[in-house]
Chains A and B, each alone.
Chain A
Amino acid sequence: MESAREASSDAMTTALQATLLRCGTGVGEVRGLRRLTGGATKQTWAFDWVAGGMQQPLILQQSHGQGAPQGGAPKLSATQDAALMVAARAGGVLAPVVRAVLQPQDRLGEGYITEFVTGETLGRRVVRDETFASARALMARQCGEILAAIHRLPTASLPFLQRLSPADELRVYADALAGSGVRHPALAYALRWIEENLPRDWAPVLVHADFRTGNLIVGLDGVRCVLDWEIARIGDAMQDLGVLCMRSWRFGGAGEVGGFGSREDLYAAYEAASGQRVDPRRVRFWEAFSNLKWAIACARRGSSVQADGRQASLELSAVGRRLEEPLWDFLALTHAIREA
């Protein structure tokens, strides 16, 4: 088993070297390839690219699936994901720098190679470690500014992005739940509540849709990079603010924004940078809806099976048992909205 892994690791090193050569990076050597922790739906590897006496740390991201079929929940292919990150970077957003997009001849599957960014992504450390105390004080404002920049990005060159109204979002995620076969009274309740409370007004912009603690690389100076762009879409701007406030992504930290900051700071910075008003009620609606989406994702992962019918991986299966967390928070949120 161990020797088989080493052999495949050697083959990957060789394949990566050929890929970087193809992309005009010049002659060099791939060293120290290692798999990183995390990522229930994709694999992340780190390695060093050694060329001309210089050593540069790079990241290989291998995604499992293809892009989603039209009409399903948004899921960009690796090529689309990379194109979006290039566009975001061009628009001044701190997205990863793409060095190569994998092609079939690279024999590494779907994915891309990006530059490594030093910092912390683990949610618990970001919201709790003393090291990041001064960073946390800055981050709610930074997030407001970054979200404003994302929402300003032109989308004409990104025709693959789905445009989803709030009602479209409901249809897409209800279908995803039906496909999982999981039936649960609290899920049915949440779907009905969302249907009865769909906002009439919405501002269509490019939304990241997974902008949250855990998907941000954080340094002593705060947010350094925004990761995980693959479920981006054109949707209501308020959605991104709601996702960032979800309790699931606070990792036990203080502060309703991401476990690190206050809504006041987030909203004020967003309004100053975007020139658009924040609608706190709509943010709460999307926070509730994001809890429902996470619950549906838990149901889908928990019910997923491998090609041969066996139960999915331990990591996916364990997420299935997190179903009640967002449903509990959903009921708390809708109760608070009703009382307000």
Chain B
Amino acid sequence: MTMFVPDSGRLLQAAVDYLDADLLPALDGYHRFHLRVCVNALRIVARELAQSEALEQSEQQRLERLLGHEGSVADLNSELTDRIAGSDLPLETPDLTEHLRATLRDALAINNPGWIE
């Protein structure tokens, strides 16, 4: 794989900074509102590019501990969802809410870091 300079994160950063700092002040009304949404969406993507790999690793470790076997994050999440929905796993299961909270906290660090007080 070619090592691009700048890499995707920095290229994206430059593009978002232009939209936010230069274009946004020139707009009003409908387009200003939607450009704000657009800038926010691109900042989410930038944080995801930078953080998702590390966050997915810790999610996988927690899931493997909780379910007692190895697997991909997608498979383990699917199994956890089925076992909660099927009443196979009581809501009071030790570490269950702690796992859900940790996973939500990590997702919020990407999607909306300001949400956690």
Identify the A interface with B (CB < 8 A).
34-38, 183-189, 191-193, 196, 314-315, 317-318, 321-325, 327-328, 331, 335
- Grouping DSSP codes into helix (H, G, I), strand (E, B) and loop, the A interface class, with mixed when no group exceeds half, is helix
Closest to B100 in A: A186
Determine how close the nearest CB of chain A comes to the CB of B71; give it in whole angstroms: 14
Q: How far is the CA of A186 from the CA of B85 in the complex (A)?
A: 10
Neighbouring A residues of B96 by C-beta, 8 Å: 189
Question: Complex: how many Å from CA A37 to CA B84?
Answer: 40
The answer to whether B104 and A327 have CB atoms under 8 Å apart is yes
Contact A331 to B100, CB < 8 A, known contacts A38-B33, A193-B91: yes
Binds A, one of B4-12, B16-24, B50-58, B74-82: B74-82
A331 close to B97 (CB less than 8 A): yes
Set of chain B residues within 8 Å of A38, measured between Cβ atoms: 33
For B33, the chain A residues whose CB sits under 8 A away are 37-38
Instruction: Evaluate contact between A321 and B103: CB separation under 8 angstroms.
Output: no
A322 touches B84 (CB 8 A): no
Q: Looking across the interface, which residue of chain B has its beta carbon closest to that of A184?
A: B81
When chains A and B are docked, how far (Å) is the Cα of A314 from the Cα of B34?
A: 8
In the complex, A34 Cα to B29 Cα: how many Å? 10
Q: Assess the B105–A328 pair: CB atoms within 8 A.
A: yes
A324 adjacent to B91 (CB under 8 Å): no
Looking at the assembled complex, report how far the CB atom of B82 sits from the nearest CB atom of chain A, in whole angstroms: 8
A322 to B74, CA, bound (A): 20
Listed by A's residue number, 24 A-B pairs whose Cβ atoms lie within 8 Å are A37-B30, A38-B33, A185-B77, A185-B80, A185-B84, A186-B104, A188-B80, A189-B84, A192-B85, A192-B87, A196-B91, A314-B34, A314-B37, A317-B41, A321-B112, A322-B111, A322-B112, A324-B104, A324-B107, A324-B112, A324-B115, A325-B112, A328-B115, A328-B116
Chain B nearest CB from A193 CB (Å) reads 6
- B101: which A residues are within 8 A, CB to CB? 328, 331
Known contacts A328-B116, A331-B101; decide if A318 and B40 are in contact (CB<8 Å): yes
CB-CB < 8 A to A318: which residues of B? 37, 40-41
- Residue B49 interfacial (CB < 8 Å): no
| A99 CA to B105 CA, complexed, in Å | 47
Give the shortest distance, in Å, between A174 (CB) and chain B (any CB): 9
Type the 1/0 row for B61-94, where 1 means its CB is closer than 8 Å to any CB of A: 0000000000000000110111011010001000
CB <8 Å contact, A314 and B100: no
Give the docked Cα–Cα distance between A119 and B111 (Å).
Answer: 31
Complex Cα distance, B107 from A193, in Å, reads: 22
Interface pair A315/B37, CB less than 8 Å apart: yes
The smallest C-beta distance from A173 to any residue of chain B, in angstroms, reads 14
Asked whether B44 is an interface residue with its Cβ less than 8 Å from the other chain, the reply is yes
**Within 8 Å of chain A (Cβ to Cβ): is B15?**
no
**Which interface residue of A34, A196, A324 has the most chain B CB atoms within 10 A?**
A324
Asked if A324 contacts B108 (CB within 8 A), the reply is yes
Tell me, in angstroms, the Cα distance from A327 to B106 when the chains sit together. 13
Q: CB-nearest residue of chain B relative to A328?
A: B104
In the complex, A184→B76 CA distance in Å? 11
B85 touches A188 (CB 8 A): yes
Bound: A324/B44 CA distance, A: 13
CA distance A189 to B85 in the complex (A): 7
Contact of B111 among A189, A317, A324, A331 (CB under 8 A): A324
In the complex, what residues of B have CB within 8 A of residue A192's CB?
84-85, 87, 91
